[in-house]
Amino acid sequence: MKNEIIIAGFGGQGVLSMGKILAYAGLLDGKEVSWMPAYGPEQRGGTANVTVILSDEMISSPVLDTYDVAVILNQQSLDKFESRVKPGGLLIYDPYGIHRKPQRTDIKVAAVEATEAAIESGNPKTYNMLLLGALLKLVPMVPIETVVKGLEKTLPPRHHKLIPLNREAILRGEQLVENL
């Protein structure tokens, strides 16, 4: 089993950390993982994307041109990556700020209103965890509890009080795609 994923949006949306949490969960689950960011000058508001691969076998290239799953958080990223989802693959996008919706018909498309849900929840910083919940519901590549365990291991103890909040956000994210 291999999942090749691109997560793309603005810097500050938690793109890189979402990818890292997913990769870490994969690691805990015994998988081979890679996390390859498109890096640039340290800057807020610029575009950010990360390629995450979870695989049962050794990973060859961390750099890809096509993906099984794309998680798209702004229009530029949608324009750039929609064509690069493999036929039969999955495109998850947040419709907030999207004025040109995905056009492809040979892939599964899931609109996840994560911005709205994050604002509603009163914890906008859990935005990327909502998306992660949605992603894992649609593509259950690692158990949610492994993700939570990963948070415990990677977050410094002073941030452990935030783990229940993140867990809730992941579960809420799952609900967002329940009816899709």
Q: Which residues of the chain form contacts with another protein (CB under 8 A)? A: 20, 23-24, 27, 32-37, 39-41, 59-66, 154
In whole angstroms, how close is the CB of 15 to another protein at the nearest point? 14
Q: Which is nearer to another protein, 6 or 71 (CB)?
A: 6
| Euclidean distance between CA atoms 100 and 124, whole angstroms | 24
Question: Which of 16, 118 has the CB closer to another protein?
Answer: 16
- Report the alpha-carbon distance of residue 11 to residue 44 in Å, rounded: 5
Minimum CB distance to another protein smaller for 47 or for 66: 66
Of 15, 21, 37, 38, give the one whose Cα is nearest residue 141: 21
Query: Could you give the 3-state DSSP secondary structure of residue 61?
Result: coil
Would you say 7 or 114 has its CB closer to another protein?
Answer: 7
DSSP label at residue 56: S
The span from the CA of 103 to the CA of 89, in Å, is: 14
**Burial (CB count <10 Å: 0-12, 13-18, 19+), residue 107:** middle
Q: Which is nearer to another protein, 4 or 94 (CB)?
A: 4
- Structure token digits, residue 66: 């096509």
Q: How far is the CB of 47 from another protein (least distance, A)?
A: 14
Cα 41 from Cα 99, distance rounded (Å): 28
User: How would you classify residue 6: left for phi > 0, otherwise alpha for psi between -120 and 50, otherwise beta?
Assistant: beta
CB of 169 to another protein, least distance (A): 21
| Closest CB 110 distance from another protein, rounded Å | 25
What minimum distance in Å lies between the beta carbon of 29 and another protein?
11
In contact, 3 and 69? CB cutoff 8 Å? yes
